[in-house]
Amino acid sequence: MAKISLCDRCNFYAHTQFLVCAVHPDGPEWGICSDFVSAELWGPEDPKSYDPDMETEFGWHPIFTGKCPECRTPFSRMRIPPEQWLCKCCGWEDDL
């Protein structure tokens, strides 16, 4: 199998030891590949780059804070987060 340096960054790359790619299973015949399509290099944004509106949107929910947004009563962190959040003290509820 003749794998070239661009193979790892191609959309057609198979990510297996048995095939090089979907178009050229044994790899390109020459040192270049006419079917190369650059894969999008994606990564999550830096959490510090979120704008204040996003922080406000995420920062109030008990899944992130562990507390009721109304009365600040702590929810148990020992259990799996529930499908329906319900505060036993003030009655606040939220469906995910």
Residues making up the chain, counted from first to last: 96
Average pLDDT along the chain: 79
Q: What is the tens place of the pLDDT at every residue in 20-55? A: 888 888 888 877 888 878 877 665 566 566 666 666
Bridge partners of 94, per DSSP, are 85
pLDDT at position 42:
62
- Residue 7 scores a pLDDT above 90: no
d(CA 29, CA 65): 56
| Residue 77 vs residues 26, 54, 67, 80: alpha-carbon distances, Å | 51, 23, 10, 8
Ranges of each domain in the chain: 1-43, 47-95
Q: Residues 9-30, buried b or exposed e (16+ Cβ, 10 A)?
A: ebebbeeeeeebbebbeeebee
